[in-house]
Amino acid sequence: MNLFNVYPLYDVTPVKAEGTYVWDENNTKYLDLYGGHGVISIGHAHPQYVAALSEQLNKIGFYSNSVQNPLQQQLAQKLGEVSGCEKYNLFLCNSGAEANENALKLASFVTKKSRVISFNNAFHGRTSAAVAVTDNKSINAPINLQQKVTFLPLNNIKLVIHEIGKGDVAAVIIEGIQGVGGLDQGTAKFFKKVRKVCKKSKVPLILDEIQSGYGRSGKFFAFQYHNIKPDIITTAKGMANGFPIGGVLISKKYKAKLGMLGTTFGGNHLACAAAISVLDIIEKENLIDNVNEVYNYFLKEIKTVPKVKKVKGKGLMLGIEFNFDVGELRKKLIYDKHIFTGGSNNKKLLRILPPLTITKEQINDFIIALKEIVS
């Protein structure tokens, strides 16, 4: 059997990883400024994380959601404490798309409505409702086009008010900071106004923090820069450092009904142990402070690199915009300098999403490599 060929691949085969580095089968060492697409939060193969998973696997790795699993409550408690979102309930699933799918479904259950407001260039995943609210026609199949979605430009509150005023809106969904779309974000003023209009019209506001959450922006969740409280928050990527998991944080005003949402694998013992360990390490190693320190250092140093047009994003969710397509630059970084980076819909944007443990010295290595290539 062959693989269903859907991914454009770099010709690199990682076989080992530690901290901020990855090694291929020829023992070549790469600096990981991509974190497997913003997934590696506490660094690769963190010894405490490896021990927590191994210990859990030796006890019980999985049982279904038909029996008690105290690790789920432990995770909910810890996530509430570390994120400052104690006043939410948690639904556990397996991926980002699944988190958004459940968030949208819940909003539709609550409002009994079905049209969703999303934003230009949004990416929310590939499953049914999640892909329908994703602004990319090429990944929407005819079956997804049945969903009622209105895409609006970011930062145009008048249009949001106008659409909500029609009375048929089930949810507004927005990324804390856009990821795949190219690191654009709503202004604080816009987020605050959207919050207000959603509240007034009883439309659930869903904050997609799948990529921007878990400390990546320099706050636990990126929306925390704007002093707002969403009704629903979705999270995934950094949550368990690569072990598949997703979470939906749900305002306590929305009451659960038995059977309303569900999944076989979501919240299994191993996933919970991984996610608890990640939160322990984020807290113990003050990783969010590190994100802010390294970010400030990066902002200073990137000014010394020629041809940089703009820096976008926050914390360790960053885009460096050049006035040329970065495809060749990314190839040179990976094959000549052995540095992993990311791309986006904006072909001129080099994206970096490193583990939150990255040091200033490692950022410096990147800056030196970048200068050597672009100068």
184 belongs to the binding site for ligand PLP (CB under 6 A) = no
Smallest separation (angstroms) from ligand PLP to the CB of 88? 18
Chain residue at closest Cβ approach to ligand PLP: 96
CB burial of 253-280 (b: ≥16 within 10 Å; e: otherwise) equals: ebeeeeeebebebbbbbbbbbbbbbbbb
Q: Which of 185, 211, 224, 268 binds ligand PLP (CB under 6 A)?
A: 211
- Nearest CA-CA partner of 117 in 108, 127, 125, 128: 108
113 to 152, contacts with ligand PLP by CB under 6 A? 123-125
**From the centroid of its chain, how far is CA 315?**
13
Q: In angstroms, what is the C-alpha Rg of the chain?
A: 20
Q: Which of 31, 92, 97, 278 binds ligand PLP (CB under 6 A)?
A: 97
* Span near ligand PLP by CB under 6 A; candidates 21-29, 69-77, 151-159, 205-213: 205-213
Smallest separation (angstroms) from ligand PLP to the CB of 155? 18
186 belongs to the binding site for ligand PLP (CB under 6 A) = no
Question: Is residue 307 within 8 Å of residue 323, measured between CB atoms?
Answer: yes
314 belongs to the binding site for ligand PLP (CB under 6 A) = no
Q: Which of 163, 175, 184, 231 binds ligand PLP (CB under 6 A)?
A: 175
* Span near ligand PLP by CB under 6 A; candidates 175-183, 198-206, 216-224, 339-347: 175-183
Number of Cβ within a 10 Å radius of residue 54: 10
Place of tokens 């400030």: 296
Q: Which amino acid, 204?
A: P
3-state SS class at 93? strand
232 to 251, contacts with ligand PLP by CB under 6 A? 236
Would you give the DSSP letter of residue 238?
G
Binding site for ligand PLP (CB under 6 A): 95-97, 100, 123-125, 175, 179-180, 208, 210-211, 236
